[in-house]
Amino acid sequence: MIKKTKVALIFGGRSAEHDVSLVSAAAIHGRLDKRAYSVSSIYIGRDGAWKIVDSPRGPESVLKRGRRSSFLPWQSRGTGSFSADIYFPVLHGPYGEDGTIQGLLEMADVPYVGAGVLASAAGMDKAVMKTLFQAEGLPIVRHQVVDEAAWAAGKKAVIDGILAGIPLPCFVKPSNLGSSVGISKVKSPGKLRAALDLAFGYDRRVIVEKGVRGREFECSVLGNDHPRSSLPGEIVPHREFYDYEDKYINGKTTFIVPAGIPKLLVRRIMDLAVRAFKAVDASGMSRVDFLHEESTGRLYVNEINTIPGFTAISMYPRLWEASGLPFSRLLDELIRLGFERHRLKKRRFERDA
């Protein structure tokens, strides 16, 4: 008999994207080949409690009744407590996608799927991300970063500064969040204050970006030192922009996979996606989002997501499917890359010892 690899899914979490994480984890759990993997499920409640559950595929009321676990993987060897061959974080947003869980797993010296601490933190913080993109010469949209202290000290001064540098319409976003939570599209000066107040409810720093009228594309990236990109796909929002309600509630957005665009633009998107991946030193997986301006034809790198969604409508697995890599094989590759990254790190430390 072939020994199964024990994979531990970590999902839920304390962020506003808790519900999205549950759906992503359920999709991954359902697609992992049970002939090759023994799958364990670790649910993190909204209160931060860690619990061992049967699977992520039940209602949250059942998940909350799971067996409590301290989850200290560095104590797991020989103690009879929880252990796995590799850990698969499926946590979106702060306290999971931002380097915090990755730091815990690095401390434990265990293999895990996805980006490391630096890339996860940089990919989560839109302000830092854009600084890294700019340093690598990637095309980004004009933006300003506002911190909470400046906002508290003088709201009128902040608004005046934004209006002087960013044309309307603009987008106001929390710097550290995803799934379009806390984002507003602002068309008139009188709406800026409410949009900033909303965004500051989620983070101490807010990013204000020039609105780009045009098309939205996404591209999936897979790999470690030699990443490759999928064919790009296009998102056609049902609402004014691709917000949380459009993504996860209404479900009326149109996805064109792969995008029906000229080959030159396809190659440009695929190239920039890999460059963005390398700019934050990502590994394993990422989804890179793009804006294509209608009036100028300019292509902008909007952001990178180091733990993209794996829901039924999520573009990351769909783009790889369209590129010839089915969901189950994609998961196999992500797990292989996690082992590879850990093995190379161990080899380097042993050589330097």
Q: Read off the CATH number of the domain in which 286 is found.
A: 3.30.470.20
117 in any annotated domain: no
> Could you tell me if 133 and 280 lie in one domain?
yes
pLDDT band with cut points at 50, 70 and 90 for residue 80:
very low
pLDDT of residue 185: 93
Task: Say whether both 152 and 281 belong to one domain.
Answer: no
Say yes or no: 320 and 226 in one domain. yes
Q: What is the mean pLDDT of residues 279-289?
A: 98
In this predicted structure, the answer to whether residue 10 has a pLDDT above a threshold of 70 is yes
pLDDT grade, residue 251 (50/70/90)?
Answer: low
The enclosing domain of 194 has a CATH number of 3.30.1490.20
Q: Report, as an integer, the average pLDDT of 200-212.
A: 94
Please determine, for residue 140, whether its predicted confidence score (pLDDT) is greater than 50: yes
Residues 93 and 166 in one domain: no
| Residue 179 covered by a domain | yes
Q: Are residues 188 and 254 in the same domain?
A: no
Residues identified as active-site: 17, 179, 248, 287, 289, 303, 305, 309
pLDDT of residue 31: 96
Give yes or no: residues 37 and 74 share one domain: yes
* Structure confidence at residue 5 (pLDDT): 97
Identify whether residues 218 and 298 lie together within a single domain.
yes
pLDDT at residue 247, as a whole number: 52
Last residue of a domain, one of 210, 225, 254: 210
Composition of the chain by helix, strand, coil, percent to 5:
40, 25, 40
225 lies in some domain: yes
Segment 225-251 mean pLDDT: 74
Q: Where are the alpha helices (DSSP H) in 230-314?
A: 244-245, 263-279
Report residue 300 as tokens.
């902008």
pLDDT above 60: residue 73: no
In a domain, 118, yes or no: no
| Same domain flag for 129 and 158 | no
Number of structural domains in the chain: 3
Per-residue pLDDT at 198 exceeds 70: yes
Q: Say whether pLDDT at 304 is over 90.
A: yes
DSSP character string of 165-194: HSPSSEEEEESB--TTTT-EEE-SGGGHHH
pLDDT average, residue stretch 205-213 = 95
Lowest-confidence pick of 60-69, 150-159, 316-325: 60-69
**297 and 155 part of one domain:** no
Cα separation, 167 vs 199, whole angstroms? 19
Asked, for residue 254, whether it belongs to a domain, the answer is: yes
Q: Which residues of 66-95 are buried (b: 16+ CB within 10 A; e: fewer)?
A: beeeebebeeeeeeeebbbbbbbbbbbbbb
Structural domain contains residue 345: no
Per residue in 323-353, pLDDT (tens digit) is 999 999 999 999 999 999 999 988 877 666 5
Read off the CATH number of the domain in which 46 is found: 3.40.50.20
The reply to whether 205 falls in a domain is yes
- Residues 248 and 193 grouped into a single domain: no
Flag whether pLDDT at 243 surpasses 80. no
Range of the domain at 74: 5-112
- Is residue 254 scored above 50 in pLDDT? yes
Q: Is residue 253 part of a domain?
A: yes
* Cα angle 8, 11, 13; round to 5: 140
Are 130 and 260 part of one and the same domain?
yes
State residue 191's pLDDT score.
95
Do 32 and 56 sit in the same domain of this protein?
A: yes
